[in-house]
């Protein structure tokens, strides 16, 4: 009889655990989305204003200094691990995608090639690591805009490419066209 009661209680608890998990995931998705908005919303205006006022060569410094700073500050403030990665990185140290990120980036590229607008895409997953701990991972692709092609496009002004060559040996982040997946915001949080 005791077992029957225990089983009964377990059944009663099961759905509530599941809804709690779902709510937990939903909360993380919302938080990840708002962090991405904050990251992009801080970086892009700085980039655009430097680009307009000081020109693209000077604006390279915004990307190489401000972008990592914003990511670091946001990570510290939120407790999430926040970065930008790419299938073709410029900063090989910080921008190289891991195996999971690469798989997700490839799915974004496949969706874009099938006609999807990159801005509508995102991906999240709860992963169980080898030690049994769980992490929530979220990625949102960054679409190549006209502005981006000055430094990531197919024909880059020699003044820009000379500076890029000097700062980023092995730079792979060129040859992108408007609408392409340039890379993605990648966020991670231990559950």
Contact residues for ligand HEC (CB under 6 A)?
Answer: 51, 56, 59-60, 63-64, 67-68, 84-86, 89-91, 94-95, 142, 144-145, 147-148, 150-152, 173, 182-183
Which residue has the closest beta carbon to ligand HEC? 95
Question: CB-wise, 111 or 150, nearer to ligand HEC?
Answer: 150
CA distances from 128 to 4, 92, 135, 137 (A): 32, 27, 7, 11
**Shortest CB 19 distance to ligand HEC, Å:** 36
Question: CB-wise, 118 or 189, nearer to ligand HEC?
Answer: 118
| Burial call 43-73: b when 16+ CB within 10 Å, e when fewer | beeebeebbeeeebbebbebbbebbbebbee
Cα 186 from Cα 57, distance rounded (Å): 27
Beta strands in 41-103 (DSSP E): 81-85
Question: CB-wise, 10 or 145, nearer to ligand HEC?
Answer: 145
**Shortest CB 135 distance to ligand HEC, Å:** 21
């Amino acid at each position: 009889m005791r077992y029957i009661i225990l089983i009964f209680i377990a059944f009663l608890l099961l759905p509530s655990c599941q809804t709690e998990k779902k709510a937990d995931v939903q909360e993380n998705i919302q938080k990840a989305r708002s962090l991405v908005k904050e990251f992009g919303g801080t970086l892009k205006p700085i980039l655009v204003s430097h680009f307009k006022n000081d020109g693209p060569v000077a604006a390279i410094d915004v990307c190489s200094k401000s972008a990592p700073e914003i990511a670091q500050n946001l990570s510290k403030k939120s407790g999430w691990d926040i970065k930008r990665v790419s299938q073709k990185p410029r900063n090989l140290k910080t921008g190289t995608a891991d195996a999971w990120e690469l798989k997700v980036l490839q799915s974004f590229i496949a969706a874009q090639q099938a006609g999807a607008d990159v801005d509508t895409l995102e991906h999240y997953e709860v992963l169980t690591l080898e030690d049994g701990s769980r992490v929530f991972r979220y990625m949102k692709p960054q679409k190549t805009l006209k502005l981006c092609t000055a430094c990531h496009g197919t024909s880059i002004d020699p003044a820009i490419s000379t500076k890029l060559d000097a700062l980023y040996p092995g730079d792979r982040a060129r040859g992108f066209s408007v609408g392409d997946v340039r890379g993605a915001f990648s966020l991670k949080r231990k559950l």
